[in-house]
C-alpha cells in the first residue's frame, strides 16, 4: 500500500543505515546512492536489487519504495525540481523507463558531487554551491536514464492537485465523480490522467490510503471494526471488508489478531 508525502522543504539530504521504506509518492525527485549492502527497489510495482555503488533516480509522482535485504548504508537526496529550472521541463514531460543506474556506468564526479551536497547542507554553507553540485550530479545521471516522453495531454499540475486533494479528504466520502466535480473536469479525463501517471486506479489509491489509516486504528485502539471502517472513510462495513480483503488478502480481524499477537 502506498501513501502520499507532502514535503515542506525544497531539499532534504541525509545518510543512514538499513533503509526500509514502504511505497510512497511525492512531487519531488529522489536520488538514493547505495554506499554498501543490498536494497530491493520497487518502482511502480517493478522490483530490482540495488548493490553497493548503484543509484536510483525517481522522477516526480513515481511510486517507489525500498527494502534492505541484509544490511545497507545509503545516502539519499530529495529535492524540488524548481531548484534546477534548466531541467524543469524534462522533469514534467519525461519519465524514466529505468530508475536503477548501475555503479560501473556512473561517472566519479556524480559521487563526489553528492558527497559535496551532503557536506554543504550539513555545514549550512552557501546554497548556491549546493545547487551547483546538484546540477552536475543530475546532468550526468540524466544521460544514463532511458527517458521517455509522456503524453502531452497529461498535466503534472493536475496530478499533484489531485494527490493533495485526496490526501486532505480521503477520510471523507470522496470518489472519482466528486473529485472531478470539485476540480471542474470530466471523470473520464481525470481517471485516465491519474492511472497513466500513478499506475493505479484512483479508487484503489484512495482505498489503500484508507486501509493504511484503518491498520493504524486496528493496532493503536480497541475500537470496534465497524467504527474503524466508518472513521477510515468507508460508507459501510461491507465495502470496508471487501476493499480490505482485495488489498491485503486477509480480513481486518485477522490483521489485528496477527499483529497484536
| CATH code for the domain of 30 | 2.60.120.280
75-84, 91-100, 187-196, 215-224: range with lowest mean pLDDT = 91-100
pLDDT of residue 152: 52
Boundary (domain end) residue, out of 149, 172, 199? 149
Residue 156 pLDDT class (50, 70, 90 cuts): low
Q: Are residues 7 and 107 in the same domain?
A: yes
Q: Residue 183 maps to which CATH number?
A: 1.10.10.60
Q: Are residues 22 and 55 in the same domain?
A: yes
30-44, 97-111, 156-170: range with lowest mean pLDDT = 156-170
Percent share of the chain, pLDDT over 90: 60
Q: Are residues 171 and 202 in the same domain?
A: yes
136 HSE (CA, 13 A, CB side): 16
Task: Tell me the average pLDDT across 107-123.
Answer: 92
Boundary (domain end) residue, out of 149, 171, 205? 149
- Whether 8 shows a pLDDT value over 90: the answer reads no
What grid cell was written down for 185? 473536469
Angle, CA of 205, 210 and 216, to the nearest 5°: 135
Instruction: Read off the pLDDT of residues 36-93 as tens digits, 9 standing for 90 and up.
Output: 999 999 887 788 999 999 999 999 888 888 999 989 999 999 999 999 999 988 988 8
Q: Are residues 103 and 139 in the same domain?
A: yes
Q: Are residues 70 and 92 in the same domain?
A: yes
Boundary (domain end) residue, out of 125, 149, 173? 149
Instruction: Read off the pLDDT of residues 19-37 as tens digits, 9 standing for 90 and up.
Output: 888 888 888 999 999 999 9
Task: Tell me the average pLDDT across 156-163.
Answer: 80
Q: Are residues 114 and 178 in the same domain?
A: no
Domain extent, residue 119, equals 3-149
When comparing pLDDT for 77 and 156, which is higher? 77
Q: Are residues 27 and 48 in the same domain?
A: yes
What grid cell was written down for 220? 493503536
Q: Are residues 35 and 139 in the same domain?
A: yes
**CA distance linking residue 247 with residue 195, whole number of Å:** 17
Amino acid at each position: 500500500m502506498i501513501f502520499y508525502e507532502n514535503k515542506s522543504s525544497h531539499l532534504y539530504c541525509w545518510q543512514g543505515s538499513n533503509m526500509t521504506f514502504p511505497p510512497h509518492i511525492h512531487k519531488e525527485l529522489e536520488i538514493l546512492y547505495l554506499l554498501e549492502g543490498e536494497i530491493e527497489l520497487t518502482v511502480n510495482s517493478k522490483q530490482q536489487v540495488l548493490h553497493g555503488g548503484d543509484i536510483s533516480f525517481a522522477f516526480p509522482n513515481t511510486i517507489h519504495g525500498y527494502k534492505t535485504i541484509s544490511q545497507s548504508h545509503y545516502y539519499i537526496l530529495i529535492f524540488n525540481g524548481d531548484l534546477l529550472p534548466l531541467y524543469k521541463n524534462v522533469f514534467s514531460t519525461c519519465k524514466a523507463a529505468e530508475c536503477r543506474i548501475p555503479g560501473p556506468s556512473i561517472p566519479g564526479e556524480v559521487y563526489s558531487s553528492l558527497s559535496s551536497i551532503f557536506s554543504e547542507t550539513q555545514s549550512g554553507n552557501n546554497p548556491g554551491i549546493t545547487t551547483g553540485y546538484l546540477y552536475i550530479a543530475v546532468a550526468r545521471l540524466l544521460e544514463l536514464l532511458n527517458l521517455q516522453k509522456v503524453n502531452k495531454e497529461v498535466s503534472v499540475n493536475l496530478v499533484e492537485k489531485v494527490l493533495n486533494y485526496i490526501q486532505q479528504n480521503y477520510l471523507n466520502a470522496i470518489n472519482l465523480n466528486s473529485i472531478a466535480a470539485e476540480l471542474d473536469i470530466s471523470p473520464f479525463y481525470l481517471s485516465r490522467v491519474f492511472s497513466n501517471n500513478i499506475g493505479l486506479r484512483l479508487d484503489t489509491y484512495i482505498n489503500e490510503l484508507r486501509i493504511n489509516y484503518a491498520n493504524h486504528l486496528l493496532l493503536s485502539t480497541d475500537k470496534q471494526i465497524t467504527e474503524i471502517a466508518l472513521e477510515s472513510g468507508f460508507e459501510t462495513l461491507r465495502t470496508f471488508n471487501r476493499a480490505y480483503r482485495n488489498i491485503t488478502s486477509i480480513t481486518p480481524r485477522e490483521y489485528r489478531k496477527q499483529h497484536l499477537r
